[in-house]
Amino acid sequence: MRGARTLPLVVLILAAASAGRADAIRIVEPRPGLPIEGRTTLAFSVIEDGTPVERIEVYESGRWIATLDGPPWRTTWDAPRLDRPARFDALAFGGGRVLDRVRLVTAPPKLVTRVEVRRVQFYPIVLDRSGRPVRGLDADDFTVRDGRTTVDVRVESGDAAPLELDLLLDASDSVRDEIDDLRRASIGFLRHVTGLGRVSVHAFNETLRPIVPPTADVGRAVAGLETIRAGGATALYDALHFALASMGSRSGRKALVLFSDGVDRRSLFTLEQVVDEALASDVVVFAIAPRPRTVFGERREDLARLTEETGGRLWLIERGEELGGVYEELQAHLAGQYAVSWTPPDPGPGVHEVRIRVRGGRVRCRTSYRIEPEPAADVSSPRN
C-alpha cells in the first residue's frame, strides 16, 4: 500500500441488539490512522463470553464484502478508491441471532469534483381512476420536470428492461399460522413474474436468510420457497437493509416485494436509514401487511412511507386468503411499468427532485434520484 494517502479513521462501537450481548467482537485491524485503499486487512477479536460467535459478516456501505466462519477472524479486501467515507459494518452471529455489531467509518475525502451523467432512467407505473395500469402511452403523454427544468424524455415499455425482483418474506413467529398461505401465494406469484427477469428470495426473523440467489429458473425459486419455516422474532429494518444492499449493484428495473406481519422491535438499523438506502439503490418497494389495529393506527406508517417514497405500494389485508389477489395486482403493476429516460439538465452530484405527470392518469413513481460525485483527486504534495 506504498504511496497511498493516509485517512484518519473514526471507530464507532454500537450497542448490540437486545437479544444478543454487548462486546462480542472488536476491530483489531485496520487501526486509526491507517489508510483504507488497496489491499486492506480486516481483523476482529472475539470475546468468549456467553453465546459463541459462529460467523462474522462484513459489509461496506451496506454491500457484503466477506463472511468469516471462524478463527483467525481475519480477511483481506481490495478497497477501491472511494469518493465518500468508507463505512464498514461487521455483524457477529450466534445462536440464530445477531450478537453484536461494530462499525468503522473513514473520514471523507477533501475534494469533490463535478460528475457528468448522460442519462437518468425511471420506471413509473401509470394508473387510471380505477387503479388499473394504463398501457400504450408514448413520450407526448408524459411531462417530466427535473428540478425546475422540463426535460425531453424517451418512453418505452418497462418490458424493455429486465426485472430484478427480490421476494422478502417474514418467517418469524408472528406468521406461523399464515406461513402456508404465504408460501402458496408466493409460489403462484413467482410462476407468473419470473418470465420478466430474475428473482431472488430471502426470509427473515432476527436475521436475514438467503433462500434463492438471483435466478430465472422458476423451479429453483419454488423449491426454495418450500423450505421456509416460521420461528423467532422480527428484525424488519435489518432485513430490508441487507436485502437492499444485495440489490444495489444490479442494473435495470429493480423491485423488492415484502411481506411482514410483525412490528420491528429488534433491528439495529432504523427506518430512516432503510428509506435512504432504498432511494440510493433505485429499488421500488412493494409491501403487504395485515391491517393493524394498534401501534400504527389505521396504517402501517413505516411501510407506507417506504413504499410511497420509492414509488411502490402498500397493501393492507385482513386474511391470508387475500394474498393471491394482491399478488395478481402486483404482477399487473410490474408488467405495466414504463421506462422513462432523459438527460439531466444539472449533472452535478447530489439529490435531484423529479416530478412526472401524465395526461388522464395518476403516476406512481419515485420523486428523486442521486448523482454520486467522482472520486476525489489526490492533491497531496509529494514528500521529500
Above 50 in pLDDT, residue 295? no
CA distance 334 to 29: 45
* pLDDT single digits (tens) 242-270: 888 888 777 778 999 999 876 776 787 88
CA distance 240 to 208: 9
What is residue 195's DSSP assignment?
G
* Helix axes 236-247 and 271-280, enclosed angle (nearest 10): 10
Measured CA to CA in angstroms, residue 282 lies from 102, 237, 310 at distances of 27, 17, 8
Q: pLDDT grade, residue 286 (50/70/90)?
A: very high
Q: What is the dihedral of CA 116, 112, 122, 354, to 10 degrees?
A: -100
CA distance 342 to 85: 30
Interacting residues of 99 by C-beta distance below 8 A, sequence separation 6+:
16, 20, 21, 24, 25, 51, 53, 92, 93
Q: pLDDT grade, residue 66 (50/70/90)?
A: confident
Above 90 in pLDDT, residue 140? yes
Q: Are 247 and 254 in contact (CB under 8 A)?
A: yes
Above 60 in pLDDT, residue 217? yes
Beta-bridge partners for 342: 120
Tell whether the torsion through CA atoms of 139, 145, 151 and 154 is positive or negative.
Answer: negative
210 prior amide bond cis, ω within 30: no
Q: What domains appear along the chain, each with residue ranges and CATH number?
A: 9-106 (2.60.40.10), 120-158+338-371 (2.60.40), 162-333 (3.40.50.410)
pLDDT above 70: percentage of residues in the chain: 81
Q: Are 48 and 73 in contact (CB under 8 A)?
A: no
Q: pLDDT grade, residue 13 (50/70/90)?
A: very low
CA distance 371 to 205: 34
* pLDDT single digits (tens) 158-215: 777 788 999 999 888 878 878 888 888 888 888 877 667 889 999 988 888 889 888 9
> 266-279 b/e with 16+ CB inside 10 Å = b?
bbbbebebbbebbb
The amino acid present at 200, given as its one-letter code, is S
* pLDDT single digits (tens) 318-333: 877 788 888 888 888 8
DSSP string, 116-185: ----EEE--EEE-TTSPBP-S--GGGEEEEETTEEE--EEEEGGGS-EEEEEEEE-SGGGTTTHHHHHHH
* Helix axes 179-193 and 218-225, enclosed angle (nearest 10): 170
